[in-house]
Amino acid sequence: MSEADGTGDGATVVYELGSGCTVSDVEEGARYHATVNGVVDYGVFVDIAAEVSGLVHTSNLVGDYEVGEDLVVELTTVHEDGDLGFEEVRTADYETRTVGRGNRLTMADLEDTVDEAGHIEGRVVQAKQTGGPTIFQVRDETGITPCAAFEEAGVRAYPEAGVGDVVRVAGTVETRNGSPQVEVDDLDVLAGAAATDVEDRLDAATANLAAPADIDPLVDWPALGKLYDDLREVARLLRETVLEGRPIRMRHHADGDGLCASAPLQHALERFIADTHADPDAPRHLLKRLPSKAPYYEMEDVTRDLNFALEDRTRHGQKLPLLLMLDNGSTEEDTPAYRNLAHYDIPVAVVDHHHPDPGAVEGLVENHVNPYLHDEDYAVTTGMLCVELARMIAPDITEDVRHVPAVAGLADRSEGEGMADYLSLAREAGYDESHLQDIGEALDYATFWLRYNDGRELIYDILDVNCDDTDRHAELVDLLAERAQQDVDAQLGVAMEHVTHETLDNGAHLYRVDVEEHARRFTYPAPGKTTGKVHDRKVAETGDPVITIGFGPDFAVLRSDGVRLDIPEMVAELKTEVDGGGVSGGGHLVVGSIKFVKGMRAAVIEALVGKMGEAELDEELGSSAAVADD
């Protein structure tokens, strides 16, 4: 025992390690308070923390100790295999310094450990600089919690720690606006084994928490069953995305099926986010639903999405988002947008039932769920798929969404085998077929007037998903469906007067209507729907093979029944056959649209009508009439 043990620059420091410390907290040459946990012939084993132990060899011991006795030791050796070697030190003139970290706390513990010191280990998922401290959102295996580190007002603390890094944060648990928050004393970016440990825990937790709920499909329908594994993969991806604190931008076709797909999924994701994030604003900050104007992912939309994503990263330190395309996104036309995103960390997933261009989007997207990839067709609507997806994310919403696939099927005129079961399921839940039809019309009508605003609350009310008042739902749908019908009647009252008729060489009836000259503009129903309604009336009147063309100055909308058209192929031919026509377009086989330059309308339409007259008639009348008007 030596009184002279103090160094020139003050008393010796002896560290008291918090019980949560690990080997990564110790350093050769430093001194520690230790407790004997075992006595052997060649020395004593000591603990300097719950999980940090080592040997003091007899040759390095000053006194005799029994288990439980305390002493001060110096760490002399860290062996290759991680074993520690100590030497006893006797000194009166020392200062005990507590290593600023106690037990490792998990996010789940925090509410019960307010005012306690401790440390957490996890991955940084957001790093936002405020006017005061830097706020790190750190994710461990149990949740995501804010950690406030203060360097200097408005100055980035721990600039070495960025989004994605694995860190150990020592600090004190405090309450901020009622939520637990860690006030940071120290923050280390972990590397090597220490980081791997944490990552392993996170991965295990993610694997566990990201696993889709183990549910059965609402109906027993083989065509749907074929896609179930693909849906599970998307469910896992979405759950992982939420767990990692990455935002989701959901882009969907702004029609009935698109809403039946996106609204239940929005409901499920909002719930899952709320369950896994402390911040009650997280559902709003991490999920956006955006109706798309075009039937594909336009350059304008992707530019806007990318711009918002980059701004959120800069302003809020958020991760770049995942893009989820619903009822949309399977074609060649979507690929420029996807390529644009490819330079940024923005993964893409697609759930669609439109005919995909073969191989077009593969390699550009993480997941692509589409019935055509399994030899099925549009009859399995995106709404049907996404209701299952939503249930895999939040199974307890099943009761609230079981009528939705029937709405989706009616809206997109699905005649798949599953429809009967979906309709009975809806009927059991109190929705008869006419009301389901009305919901579809009401969605269409409201969406038209919302003009690409998402209309969150209104859409939930109309669809009766996440709606707290079924009477209001019913009255609202009645009103909107009635208004929609009145507006359709008014529009057709005008347009039907101007429909022209001719008989094609193949015997099909061709009806033409100029929807720019002979329909009201900028009101409901828009040209596409107007054409569809004219067509439906003509089919009902004539009962024969019917084609309807609704044209404007630089576009035409096409509908046919009982004629074997292949619109994508006709468009491809017209592109090369009509010089300077500027032709583009497509759609389904028998329902689609075509664009051209104004000055070439006559040439394009006459060429198109020529091709229509050569098409074979379909004997099985009506079967080709499915799929709603875009």
User: Which 302-321 residues touch a copy of itself, going by CB under 8 A?
Assistant: 303-304, 306-307, 310-311, 313-315
CA dihedral 545, 550, 556, 561 (to 10 degrees): -20
Q: Which of 69, 87, 279, 536 binds a copy of itself (CB under 8 A)?
A: 279
Among 29, 68, 178, 358, binds a copy of itself (CB under 8 A): 178
79/339 with CB nearer a copy of itself: 339
Regarding 284 and contact with a copy of itself (CB under 8 A), the answer is: yes
500 binds a copy of itself per the rule CB under 8 A: no
Whether 233 and 367 have beta carbons less than 8 Å apart is answered as yes
Residue 342 beta carbon to a copy of itself: minimum distance, rounded to whole angstroms? 8
Binding mask 17-36 for a copy of itself (x = CB under 8 A): --------------------
Q: How far is it, in rounded angstroms, from Cα 270 to Cα 282?
A: 8
Least CB distance to a copy of itself at residue 345 (A): 10
Phi, psi (5° rounding) for residue 147?
Answer: -125, 125
Min separation Cβ 502 and a copy of itself, Å: 19
Q: Is 457 in the site for a copy of itself (CB under 8 A)?
A: yes
- The DSSP secondary structure of 140-153, one letter per residue, reads ETTEEEEEEE-SBT
The interface with a copy of itself within residues 110-169 (CB under 8 A) comprises 111, 129-133, 150, 152-154
- The minimum distance between CB 267 and a copy of itself, in angstroms, equals 13
Q: Does 479 bind a copy of itself (CB under 8 A)?
A: yes
Amino acid (1-letter code) at residue 602: A
The 10 Å Cβ neighbour count of residue 87 is 16
Closer to a copy of itself by CB, 226 or 575: give it. 575
- Cβ(48)–Cβ(36) below 8 Å: no
Residue 300 binds to a copy of itself (criterion: CB under 8 A): yes
DSSP 589: S
| 319 vs 588, beta carbon nearer a copy of itself | 319
Round to whole Å and give the CA distance between 242 and 247.
7
Kindly tell me which of 332 and 417 has the beta carbon lying closer to a copy of itself: 332
Q: In angstroms, give the least distance from the CB of 472 to a copy of itself.
A: 5
Please tell me whether residue 521 binds a copy of itself under the rule CB under 8 A. yes
Q: What are phi and psi of 297, to 5 degrees?
A: -90, 100
For position 179 contacting a copy of itself by CB under 8 A, the verdict is yes
Cα of first residue to Cα of last residue in the chain, in angstroms, is 89
Looking at 118, 180, 212, 371, which residue binds a copy of itself (CB under 8 A)?
A: 180
Measured CA to CA in angstroms, residue 473 lies from 259, 418, 449, 458, 551 at distances of: 16, 26, 18, 9, 36
For 437-468, give one letter per residue: b (16+ CB within 10 A) or e. Answer: bbbbbbbbbbbbeeeeebbeebbbbbbbbbbe
Instruction: Among 1, 177, 540, 602, indicate the residue that binds a copy of itself (CB under 8 A).
Output: 177
Angle at 98 between CA 97 and CA 104, to 5 degrees: 160
Among 271, 427, 595, 611, binds a copy of itself (CB under 8 A): 595
60-119 residues in contact with a copy of itself (CB under 8 A) are: 111
Beta-bridge mates of residue 365: 362
**Residue of the chain from 281, 399, 614, 619 that contacts a copy of itself (CB under 8 A):** 281
Q: Binding of a copy of itself at residue 519 (CB under 8 A)?
A: yes
Task: List binders of a copy of itself among 423-452 (CB under 8 A).
Answer: 446, 449-451
Binder to a copy of itself among 93, 204, 344, 428 (CB under 8 A)? 344
Residue 428: CB atoms within 10 Å: 10
3-state helix, strand, coil in the chain (%, to 5): 40, 25, 35
Rounded to 5 degrees, φ, ψ at 413 are 55, 40
